[in-house]
Chains A and B, each alone.
Chain A
Amino acid sequence: MRIVLEPRAAPRRLMRVAAPLIALLATVLASVPILLALGLNPLSTLKIFFVEPLNSPNGLSEWLLKASPLVLIALGLAVGFRANVWNIGAEGMFTVGAICAGWLALHFGAGGHAWLLPAMMLAGALGGMAWAAIPAFLRTCANTSEILVSLMLNYVAALILSYLVNGPMQDPEGLNYPQTSVFAPSAMFAPLIAGLRINVSIWVTLGAVFAAWLFLERSFVGFQMSVSGAAPGAARYAGFRQGRMIWLSLLISGAAAGVAGMMEAAGPLGQLTPVISPGYGFAAIIVAFVGRLSPLGILFGGLLLSLLYLGGEAVQMSLNVPASLARSFQGMLLFFLLAADVLIWHRVRLKRA
């Protein structure tokens, strides 16, 4: 007996939508033995993981607050992924965006200018784009792999941030803690609801969902990017320029990640510290795939991954379980999703050898 994968001519549309749900179900099922091995009651643990974080207004606020950067970064990544440009450096672009915005906040915060937040957002976008320009340049001019270059630049960005908060940008009155001063109120987003951390930046993310939908599903440039990802030969034949697609996709994902970094710095953080991202740049890759590289899907994917973060924290606090449980959930989710995708495009046949 031999297992053969045969390509399907036309996969069912429903299945493409259902795949993330199937993957989620499989993740939950696969977590049961893991939880049992940890000596936990699977049912109550899963309840703490998936339900309890959303039981309070504060929980809901944190949920949306964490989903926002994930969604924004994933939107940018999806643009590139459709064009077969594998940017896994969103973490670094996020960091550089936060640094650039933070520099503005620290220099002009005292003035109380109304233009400061928009300027910080622009600085975040430009910073992310500048960081993304490095793999784009190297890929188009030297044919390097954007995967490796963007990945390694994550560590470079993290080290730059670490240097800055330990040196040039360190808070002079911070008792030598590696952090910047707290941003002035004019350099921070106002809370949407008093007492909760959720702020107006979620509207930016929602706007980005619409913009990404327009770009990916309706614009000709977005179509060209999808073609150059799905069939580079067809893109050349039709006269779509490969280099332009690489630049565009990296710059767009860099801008999105940079703005996400800015919104994190000007929102929940309010200052720069050596570690400003709990792995958003990587989790957003999962979000992009869970969301089928489609903007609306990414919105749901971001909410799901955000819940995994909160659930991980919740079980850590109430059950004293390592927070890496959330990471393994993330990993399983992506794994099962990719497996489900294979089954959408292929059917499994048993063949007698």
Chain B
Amino acid sequence: MAGGRHAGADEGLTPRLELKGVSKRYAGTLANDNVSLCIGHGRIHAVLGENGAGKSTLMKIIGGALQADSGEMLWQGEPVKMASPAAARRLGIGMVHQHFSLFETVTVAENIAVALDEEFDLTALAGKIRELGGRYGLHVEPHRLLHHLSVGERQRVEILRALLQDPKLLILDEPTSVLAPQAATRLFGVLRMLAAAGCSILYVTHKLDEVRELCDSATILRQGRVVALADPKQVDSAGLARLMVGAALPAVRRTGCSREPIARLRAVALSTRPPDAFATALRDISLEVCGGEIVGIAGVSGNGQSELASALSGETTGRADAVLFDGEPVGHLTVAARRARGLACVPEERLGRGAVARMPLTDNTLLTAHAMGLIRGGLIRRARVGALARSIIERFGIKCAGSSAPAQSLSGGNLQKFIVGREVSLSPRVLIASQPTWGVDVAAAAYLRQSLIDLSRSGAALLVFSEELDELLEICDRIAVIHQGRLSAAKPCTGAHLEHIGLAMAGIGPAFQSAA
């Protein structure tokens, strides 16, 4: 693997990987339509496209998880058939999935061990994980159980697992969606280092800035087809966006915030004891959210976001006066009691939490909207439930086979739209939303953000947890940063400096000295 990025003289002649006319059809829709792609040695190549453009399918074909219906794949000039992920791994293809493929009930080290074709030595592996994590800034404790890890930490495990296999081609599917800006910058450094060492990188994303910053070339997909092969250094973001979306990007309108003087949701010196040794304890968190404003909580996942959301929503209860609604102590009340006072919630996990996978959308509407006159005398008013479900589907433009479609039949983005739509439809007084646009395509994300803004401008108090700082800057009136269970004071967004927040996300800087 000697030589720099541009050292390989033959890189133009025998690319690392070449796809020719690859097509894949799923039940009637062409997910990939005659896609061709070429990646040279040590190059960073972007695959850019909205959700549903066919990026994931293409990556699965390259990674061996799916077989193409037609087309050809050349690995270092040789035709190959990628029969399974194991076969792809043997060739030297490493994969960092967007939807993680990790085992919940075992530790980080064990998760990585099962993917490696070597002797099972957890102690040695733990050392390697720490070493590699230290080198690339991907810190994960090797002996933590996976189900205690947040989304962001899980992704680190995925990246580490791929790197431990010393890949020749590394595929990353939306890797920065859960990283702090500095961490993303560090990751880019890592990727450049890998590329310089000869590893080719396929970088799948819908974020234009990243493509322009990092990638040498970009294949742009729309509706399963390659619409352009662009040089990201030559085309500006707006140009890339037009190619990707097929139209100009929808912009979010944000009107001035008319914040009510009294806090509707307050946390006062909220602390929690962690349920196990590895969960994050909340330490002395104070927070105020008023009607009419959106407060954002930035931070790398795993720093106490889910614990804070649970404490505010009532899934974990505690001291009565640690959480206040309209000045009244509710810290000891259950979820049901808090919901009855006008709380709504968008959880981080969609299936199994925000929605019941096997149940139809009607039942999933009933899940939290039951107080909207859907129950009479203990019995469900089916007609009303159906009408409400259909109105959510229509208002939020959810693509599904009608209101009786099971939640699991919806794509991630559409299900997210449904859950956000349902909670917004409750006209809550307080809405707590975690990662409201995670994995949702650009246009839908803009629509969801607009819905959140509109909800707040109609007088609701909104608290949004997101790891996408750009998203928070776009919609929030004030932003606080959470780090290792401590929350910085919320600062007005106007003038909030990206770097300042970024440093706070890493636990550095003055933000935490001024914290209450």
Contact = CB atoms under 8 A, between A and B. Distances in A.
B363 A223 contact: yes
A220 B378 contact: yes
A7 B408 CA distance: 10
Interface residues of A, number: 24
Contacts of B84: 351, 353
Interface residues of B, number: 38
B359 A227 contact: yes
A227 B352 CA distance: 10
B366 A223 contact: yes
Interface stretch (A131-139, A141-149, A183-191, A236-244): A236-244
A219 B378 contact: yes
Interface in A217-236: 218-221, 223, 226-227, 230-231, 233-234, 236
A214 B377 CA distance: 12
A298 B368 CA distance: 30
B398 to A, nearest CB: 15
Given A9-B406, A241-B336, A234 B367 contact: yes
A240 to B, nearest CB: 8
A113 interface: no
Nearest to A13: B404
28 contacts: A7-B408, A9-B408, A10-B401, A10-B405, A218-B379, A218-B380, A219-B380, A220-B378, A220-B380, A221-B378, A223-B363, A223-B380, A226-B363, A227-B367, A230-B358, A231-B357, A233-B349, A234-B353, A234-B354, A234-B356, A234-B367, A236-B315, A236-B353, A237-B353, A238-B339, A238-B368, A239-B339, A353-B83
Nearest to B340: A239
Contacts of A233: 349, 352-353
A352 interface: yes
A52 to B, nearest CB: 41
A25 to B, nearest CB: 26
Contacts of B338: 239
B181 interface: no
Interface in B343-389: 345, 347, 349, 351-359, 363, 366-368, 370, 375, 378-380, 382
Contacts, number: 80
Contacts of A221: 378
B98 interface: no
A227 B360 CA distance: 12
Given A223-B363, A227-B356, 11 more contacts: A10-B408, A218-B379, A218-B380, A219-B380, A230-B357, A230-B359, A233-B353, A234-B356, A237-B313, A239-B336, A352-B83
Interface of A: 7, 9-10, 214, 218-221, 223, 226-227, 230-231, 233-234, 236-241, 351-353
Contacts of B315: 236-237
A231 B349 CA distance: 12
Given A227-B359, A234-B352, A220 B406 contact: no
Contacts of B401: 10
Contacts of B76: none
B380 A239 contact: no
Contacts of B353: 231, 233-234, 236-237
A223 B158 CA distance: 38
A233 B347 CA distance: 10
B165 interface: no
Interface in B53-90: 83-84
B356 A220 contact: no
A9 B335 contact: no
Nearest to A232: B352
Nearest to B83: A352
A237 B380 contact: no
A352 B203 CA distance: 29
A240 B356 CA distance: 13
Nearest to B316: A236
Contacts of A214: 379
Given A230-B356, A231-B353, A352-B83, A220 B379 contact: yes
Interface in B208-245: none
Contacts of B378: 219-221
A237 B335 CA distance: 7
A342 to B, nearest CB: 14
Contacts of A351: 84
A220 B375 contact: yes
B409 interface: yes
Contacts of B347: 237
A339 to B, nearest CB: 19
Among A9, A231, A236, which residue has the most Cβ atoms of chain B within 10 A?
A231
B314 interface: yes
Contacts of B450: none
A134 to B, nearest CB: 26
A240 B378 CA distance: 15
B111 to A, nearest CB: 21
A219 B379 contact: yes
A234 B355 CA distance: 6
A230 B408 CA distance: 13
Contacts of A220: 366, 370, 375, 378-380
Contacts of B425: none
A234 B382 CA distance: 20
Contacts of B406: 9-10
A238 B408 CA distance: 18
Contacts of A231: 351-353, 355-357
B396 to A, nearest CB: 20
A83 to B, nearest CB: 13
B334 interface: yes
A7 B358 CA distance: 11
Nearest to B368: A238
Q: Which are the 10 A-B pairs with shortest beta-carbon distances?
A: A239-B335, A239-B336, A9-B409, A233-B353, A231-B356, A10-B409, A220-B375, A233-B352, A238-B367, A231-B352
Nearest to A10: B409
Nearest to B87: A353
Contacts of B355: 231, 234
Interface in B463-481: none
A219 to B, nearest CB: 5
A218 B334 CA distance: 25
Contacts of B380: 218-220, 223
Residue with the highest number of chain B CB atoms closer than 10 Å, among A218, A233, A237: A237
Nearest to B367: A238
Nearest to B338: A239
A231 B351 CA distance: 9
Contacts of A7: 408
